[in-house]
Amino acid sequence: MKLKTMYPDYKHCILGIPNALLGHYGVEAGEFHVPKLERALKHNHKNVVFMILDGMGIDMMQHQLGMFSFLRRHIKDKISSVFPPTTVAATTSYYSGLAPIETGWLGWAPYFKEAGCAVEMYTNKNYYTEEPVAANFAAKMPYQHVFERIKAVNPAVQMTEIFPVCIRPEGAADFKEMCDRIVAQTEKDGEQFVVAYWNDPDHTSHEFGPYSKEINDVLKNLNVQVKEMCAKLKDTLVIISADHGHIQNDEVPLDNYPDLNDCLATPLGLDMRAQSVLLKEGKEEEFVRLFNQYLAKDFILMKSEDAVAMGLFGPGVAHPMVKDILCDYLIIAKTEKTLIPHFPEGRYGHMLGVHSGLTNKEMIVPLILIKKD
């Protein structure tokens, strides 16, 4: 897949999946549509299984799986992720049915004015030092899970969520166990709605890169296990997609540009390839000039208020914390280059596969549909 700049397409994006599922179970849903999924749901299978395979973008699949592999044969559409195409923003959109602008879950480590630093959403630690912060910022941005919305209007549906054991102690030890648990759940009486999240190929790609042998092994295993799982299913619609894709990383240290770095009031926040910038007083003109001198070839500089106004983070009413989170400007990667801020020694581990920028490799994910009657 040839690399090109790509903005999210909210008229044909991953938000169409949870909203189609909400509508299927009788919940008033948002204006996000994926027609091929909506048509598949009209067959009213007893069971619906939605699997999120973290990081499995179309580009990775095309490089690592043969065109006649089980997963590729069942790709029914190619859809856009949200912005930024990253796990925190995208999976929250999956679980809520809302755009990132509405939830406020905009990236791995947003800057929070109250903490005075970038805070990891999943760990509540300072992104740069790993020190815990006092306030629980995830708790300040609650959202209603799609399960809760369905239960309120359709309590007869049995809903199950499955994660890897590294995320939840009761989770699956490996992908085969996850698939086995899905099969077992669908064999129970009554309507079953299962959402299963697996942290690969994202985890492996970060370490080895999206075009590595290690990723090839991971995808081939996922392909085999899903095929074997589907052979055991009855009266089930299986939906498989991803939160984002991956791109091979080419690091650009911010330390190479000390004069640009000197314009910053605090280290960069938000996500690896979509970074928020809080400037020192009176440094805006110098910062813009230096950015254009050093980085404009590989990055987009955008005023944060302009990004919100153009709908980059999706349509809808902005969460009250968004303005402070996004700070003054955004630096967004548009090529393989990734701007790496300064970390304390030993804190940053180099990643070969990355995401959250504005490229098609990060933005385009599959809609895989498998119908088992």
What are 237-287's pLDDT values in tens digits? 999 999 999 999 999 999 999 999 999 999 999 999 999 999 999 999 999
Backbone angle region of 173, left / alpha / beta, with phi > 0 → left and psi within -120 to 50 → alpha: alpha
- Unique residue bearing structure tokens 């699997």: 51
State how far the Cα of 243 lies from the Cα of 201, in Å rounded to an integer: 11
| Residue 372 CB burial class (10 angstroms; 0-12, 13-18, ≥19) | middle
Q: Considering the domain 16-105+141-246+359-372 in this protein, what is its CATH number?
A: 3.40.720.10
CATH topology of 16-105+141-246+359-372 equal to that of 111-135+250-350? Answer: no
pLDDT of residue 158: 98
Backbone angle region of 44, left / alpha / beta, with phi > 0 → left and psi within -120 to 50 → alpha: left
Please report, in angstroms and rounded to a whole number, the separation of the first and last CA atoms in the chain: 35
| Averaged confidence pLDDT in the chain | 97
Strands (E), the chain: 47-53, 75-80, 111-112, 117-118, 158-162, 192-198, 236-241, 247-248, 250-253, 269-270, 274-277, 299-303, 329-333, 337-340, 353-354, 364-372
Nearest to 160 by CA among 14, 48, 55: 48
Report the relative pairing of strands 274-277 and 329-333 from DSSP bridges: antiparallel
pLDDT average, residue stretch 14-30: 96
State how far the Cα of 321 lies from the Cα of 109, in Å rounded to an integer: 14
Q: Considering the domain 111-135+250-350 in this protein, what is its CATH number?
A: 3.30.1360
pLDDT of residue 156: 96
What 3-state DSSP class applies to 101?
helix
pLDDT of residue 346: 73
User: What does the buried/exposed string (b/e) look like for 312-348 if buried means 16 or more CB atoms within 10 Å of the residue's CB?
Assistant: bbbebebbebbeebbbbbbbbbbbbbbbbbeeeeeee
φ, ψ of residue 225 to 5 degrees: the values are -65, -40
Nearest to 181 by CA among 130, 143, 132, 232: 232
pTM (two decimals): 0.96
Q: What is the pLDDT of residues 29-81, one digit of tens each?
A: 889 999 999 999 999 999 999 999 999 999 999 999 999 999 999 999 999 99
DSSP 283-297: -HHHHHHHHHHHTTT
CB atoms within 10 A of CB 285: 9
Give just the sign of the alpha carbon dihedral 359, 33, 19, 179.
negative
DSSP 123-187: T-BBTTT--B-SS-TTTTS----HHHHHHHH-TTSEEEEE-BTTTSTTSBSSHHHHHHHHHHHHT
Nearest to 57 by CA among 329, 182, 227, 242: 242
Domain ranges of the chain: 16-105+141-246+359-372, 111-135+250-350
Is the pLDDT confidence value at 349 over 80? Answer: no
Token pair, residue 260, equals 């640009």
| Residue 236 CB burial class (10 angstroms; 0-12, 13-18, ≥19) | buried
Q: Are 243 and 255 in contact (CB under 8 A)?
A: no
Is the pLDDT confidence value at 348 over 90? Answer: no
pLDDT of residue 66: 97
